[in-house]
Amino acid sequence: MIILAATPIGNLGDASRRLVEALETASVVAAEDTRVANRLLQGLGVTNRPRLVAMHDHNERERAGELVELARDADLLVLSDAGMPTVSDPGYHLVLAAIEAGVEVTVIPGPSAVLAALAVSGLPTDRFTFEGFLPRKAGERASVLGSLGDERRTMVFFESPNRLADSLAAIAHVLGASRRVVVCRELTKLHEEVKRGTAAELAEWAAGGVRGEIVVVVAGAVARTVDLATAVQEVLLLTATGESLKDASASVSAATGLSRRALYEAALKERSNR
């Protein structure tokens, strides 16, 4: 089978017993970076020296078939440099290939920068969305943030320390200077820091330069106060652009907090009366 194994995101003490046992018995390990995998083995005191195969963003598609075939005869342990494989890390295409080939896939859960940042952020955790890395280019970044303008769930992003200030400035500009934001830096490491404030405040703070691994947590939008009649007109405008009544009702419901069913039924009645 293929075993997706979560690795520590900073503190080696977070390695699970199952991870250590899997490393001690593995014959083949597909690693995002074989050098990092070797350091992990040494740091955890693992004496086993499995065959290490590089599987990263640039070769995963090409190697997936070969690795799936390896997993037919022996367990294949899959590691990213930190955290869970497939989450903004290699592994997704391998999993798809394994499913298509009928090879079993399982998981050794463990550290996750996404969940760790969400937990310490102090922002709502009941509903959230992980958005990965924001685009490098300013125009594309603004476009992505614009599409999230009405997102009411807490949003989690990864970001490079070199682009953090620009991304926070973009969040302040597009989502609002007063939008609540939390920047988590070096989670589980010696210099862990959690910085909370408005988007404008944190953009100013980050302008001085920030180092380390970064996770940004952004509060969801507050539902707009709109009466049902106005919201129904918004639904009908969306359907006029080709969107289905069901999808349009869901979009307006997400932005306003009004019942999706009530919007759908009212819009359907309004449309039939025209």
- Of 171, 187, 218, the position where a domain reaches its end is 218
Pairwise CA distance, residues 40 & 180, whole Å? 36
Question: How do 128-133 and 154-159 pair as beta strands?
Answer: parallel
Q: Is residue 183 in some structural domain?
A: yes
Query: In Å, what is the CA distance from 24 to each residue of 16, 41, 46, 104, 113?
Result: 13, 9, 6, 21, 25
Whether pLDDT at 173 is above 80: yes
In a domain, 146, yes or no: yes
> Domain for residue 223, yes or no?
no
Quick one: pLDDT at residue 255? 79
Same domain for 204 and 152, yes or no, is yes
Determine whether 208 is exposed, middle or buried from the number of CB atoms within 10 Å of its CB (0-12, 13-18, 19+).
exposed
Q: Are the C-beta atoms of residues 216 and 167 closer than 8 Å to each other? A: yes
- The verdict on 266 and 184 lying in the same domain is no
Asked if 145 and 50 sit in the same domain, the reply is: no
| Least-confidence region, from 69-73, 145-149, 183-187, 222-226 | 222-226
The CA distance from 151 to 106, in Å, is 32
Helices (H), 102-192: 113-121, 138-147, 164-175
Domain total of the chain: 3
Range(s) of the domain holding residue 249: 228-273
> What band does 223 get if pLDDT is binned at 50, 70 and 90?
confident
- pLDDT (0 to 100) of residue 273: 82
Q: What pTM did the predictor assign? A: 0.83
Q: Which pLDDT does position 254 carry in this prediction?
A: 78
Residue 176 makes CB contacts below 8 A (sequence gap 6+) with: 199
Single residue among 82, 108, 134 that ends a domain in this structure = 108
What is the radius of gyration, based on Cα positions, of the chain? 23
pLDDT in tens, 77-135: 999 999 999 999 999 999 999 999 999 999 999 999 999 999 999 999 999 999 999 99
Bridging pattern class, strands 154-159 and 76-79 = unpaired
* pLDDT over 70 percentage in the chain: 100
Residue 252 contacts residue 263 (beta carbons within 8 Å): yes
